[in-house]
Amino acid sequence: MISIVSYELEIISPRAVANTEGVGRGNVGAIYLNNFCLAIDSSMYVSTGDLFRSNVETHFKAPVKFLIITHYHADHTFGMKSFKDLVSISSAQVSKNLQSTDVLERYKGYIIELEKDDPLGKGVEFILPNFLFTESLIINDENLSVEINHVGGHTSGSSFVFFPEEKILFAGDLIFEDKFPYAGDVTCDPEKWITAMKRMRALNPDFIIPGHGPVMKGSDKLDRHEKFFIELRSIIKDAITDGLKQEEIEVPTTFDNIDPELKLLTVDHWLKYYKTQI
Ligand SMILES: [Zn+2]
């Protein structure tokens, strides 16, 4: 049984770190301001959440004061127990997503499964963020600030986090780097996702920490992601006009490894979404 995992931090800049190795499933990151740190997402496990928090505090020699949750998915929220004593921030919609009947039911079962079957999955608790905002929130510490923007897209509650001082963007699952994105969540809004891509691009970030996959250097790394969604939109709209079936639809070849299940969920959801629009 694996009980200890290594969860090293990748140093992005003097004030930002991340772990994008995938051990904790969803990526995590942290920003050090003047007197405290902010953690972004909790990973899927309490074991990785604990290591993440202690590694951040050791690295910056400052306490983590806030946890920011980018969206409701389990691989970003199930490690929240490690931050239970802190202020945990999300869009109000994340809290609504987590409390929907379907998610409550599913996550309850998921936690039981993890406890039994996943060596890393012990001790997960269902925890709701305790500090909610609607559109955006700025956290200030003396001369430094961090901006959280609720944009929707990947899920209805999705936010991205920007640290202007070092031009670092934590995109949550608005970006899956080097892999086909999961764009089939029941609350996924393709139009909002495309708008979010444009907003993130406009910030001209030097570094982007995606929700999955490696850290991206340079804002031009966002271009192919934006292009992918715009192309997918026109493919789906054409498919509706031409009466194509789901299995006849080819997705853009932006990403090498197209997971057939993710493709199916995505195409299915986008078809439903645009059928109501056309
Ligand atoms: Zn997600």
Give the total number of structural domains in the chain: 1
pTM of the model: 0.96
Ligand 1 ion: nearby residues, β-carbon < 5 Å: 73, 173
69 pLDDT higher than 50: yes
278 pLDDT higher than 70: no
Within-domain flag for 276: no
Ligand 1 centroid to residue 73 C-alpha, Å? 5
236 pLDDT higher than 90: yes
Write out pLDDT tens, residues 5-41.
Answer: 789 999 999 999 999 999 999 999 999 999 999 999 9
Residue with the bigger pLDDT between 258 and 139: it is: 139
d(CA 3, CA 105): 28
270 pLDDT higher than 50: yes
CA angle 243, 247, 248 (to 5 degrees): 55
Ligand 1 centroid to residue 143 C-alpha, Å? 32
Q: Note the pLDDT of residue 119.
A: 87
CA angle 269, 272, 277 (to 5 degrees): 125
d(CA 97, CA 185): 11
Ligand 1 centroid to residue 183 C-alpha, Å? 9
User: How would residue 249 be classed by pLDDT, with cut points 50, 70 and 90?
Assistant: very high
Within-domain flag for 126: yes
Within-domain flag for 233: no
CA angle 188, 193, 199 (to 5 degrees): 150
Q: Tokens in use for 156?
A: 């209805």
Q: Tell me 249's DSSP state.
A: P
Q: Kindly report the CATH number assigned to the domain that includes residue 123.
A: 3.60.15.10
Q: What is the mean pLDDT of the chain?
A: 96
3 pLDDT higher than 80: no
Within-domain flag for 192: yes
Within-domain flag for 275: no
User: How would residue 1 be classed by pLDDT, with cut points 50, 70 and 90?
Assistant: very low
Domain around 209:
10-220
